[in-house]
Amino acid sequence: MVSISDVEAAIAEKGTMIDRELEKFLPRKKGDSLYEAVWYHMATGGKRIRPALALMACEAVGGDSRKAVPWAAACELLHNWLLVHDDIEDSDEVRRNQPTVWKKYGVPHAINVGDLMSQKVFQLVLDSKSSKVDDRITMQLLSLMAETAIRTAEGQAMDISMRGREPSEKEYMEMVTGKTAYYLTAPIIGGALIGGAGRKDMERIIEFGRYAGPAFQITDDVLDLTEGKGRGEIGRDIKEGKRSIMAIHCLSRCTPGEKRSILEILDKRPEDTTADDVRFVKAMFERYRSVEYSSKKAEELMAKAKHAIKPLPDDLRGLLEMFADYLISRKR
């Protein structure tokens, strides 16, 4: 049985290899507002869980994980690129308890920093050549990478468009599936591909992602309200007017008067939303058991995710089951 401590061991053991691969394409330059900013962001505490999963997936299907190092590093960079741009899009000033890139370097630099990272992602995938991945697989990895980022952008567009509206749970699920399904599992899919997994197995991992991704996002939204997400406060999503599943659930059940009050708060600019506003919305979510509903929904989705991977070979299935448990039980 794989456990989270195995992932931690993999991060400890192989983190250096990943960082060295990243440094090959992202030189550490001091006093340079481009590469310095990339490393500023990368250093604000990323857990490197994605690359560890990529390497472990490669091993789980019997492959040599060293071959998956460029892919693993590319996945870490994809993740960080999207965070840099997300923080601008969400006006988030704090990430992992540090000022976000745009807050520190300004919006123009932050957009450009993200753009650089998005291209370095492809240089990294192309570098799979140097670890003897054959060209046919590398082309598939490149497609997978582009596809992942595209689906994430499509989900993100829906997410942004939803603010200021009152979407249905169906719309929410469509948005969140787009935004997370590929994004969450791409490291594992690519790692397994490099390790020699077959098409059938890949499809099962994609199916897993279709449930595990939304489960992860819902858990994340609940965490924002209970523990905070390293953004320096609790209830940041309320300030941003995010249409989380809790908001959608509560809005569909509360009285018309309550609905007016909640929407008024959600639609205020983040800087105008007071602590009392946040407390009020949180109390509403609790009154209508929206937090409970959401946690239960996340658990149901994760059960479906686990069901989808039942036919996978033991080692790969074990890795994904462990990942599923980690996603739903983590505290931040």
User: Which residues sit at the interface with its own copies, rule CB under 8 A?
Assistant: 32-34, 82, 85, 88-90, 106-109, 111-116, 118-120, 122-123, 126, 129, 135-136, 138-139, 142-143, 145-147, 149-150, 153-154, 156-157, 160-161
Q: Which is nearer to its own copies, 97 or 161 (CB)?
A: 161
CA distance 293 to 303: 15
**CB 191 → its own copies: shortest distance, Å?**
20
Residues facing residue 98 across a β-bridge = 95
Structure tokens at 87: 């923080």
Q: Which is nearer to its own copies, 4 or 116 (CB)?
A: 116
**CB 22 → its own copies: shortest distance, Å?**
14
Q: How many Cα atoms sit within 13 Å of 184 on the Cβ side? A: 25
User: Identity (one letter) of the amino acid at 44?
Assistant: T
DSSP-assigned letter for residue 274: -
**CB 107 → its own copies: shortest distance, Å?**
7
**CB 327 → its own copies: shortest distance, Å?**
24
CA distance 276 to 299: 31
Q: How many Cα atoms sit within 13 Å of 131 on the Cβ side? A: 24
Q: Which is nearer to its own copies, 147 or 169 (CB)?
A: 147
CA distance 4 to 18: 19
Q: Which is nearer to its own copies, 59 or 92 (CB)?
A: 92
DSSP-assigned letter for residue 32: -
Structure tokens at 8: 């931690």
**CB 183 → its own copies: shortest distance, Å?**
12
**CB 135 → its own copies: shortest distance, Å?**
5
Q: Which is nearer to its own copies, 33 or 131 (CB)?
A: 33
What b-and-e string marks burial along 39-77, b requiring 16 or more CB atoms within 10 Å of the CB?
A: bbbbebeeebbbbbbbbbbbbbbebebebbbbbbbbbbb
User: Identity (one letter) of the amino acid at 220?
Assistant: D
Phi/psi-derived region of residue 196, left when phi > 0, alpha when psi is between -120 and 50, beta in every other case: left
Distances, alpha carbon 50 to alpha carbons 187, 196, 285, 288, 290, in Å: 6, 19, 32, 35, 30
H or E element that contains 161: helix 135-162
Q: How many Cα atoms sit within 13 Å of 108 on the Cβ side? A: 1
**CB 16 → its own copies: shortest distance, Å?**
25
Q: Which is nearer to its own copies, 33 or 295 (CB)?
A: 33
Q: Which is nearer to its own copies, 33 or 98 (CB)?
A: 33
**CB 240 → its own copies: shortest distance, Å?**
10
**CB 257 → its own copies: shortest distance, Å?**
30
Q: Which is nearer to its own copies, 96 or 109 (CB)?
A: 109
User: Identity (one letter) of the amino acid at 74?
Assistant: A
CA distance 56 to 215: 22
Q: Which is nearer to its own copies, 43 or 150 (CB)?
A: 150
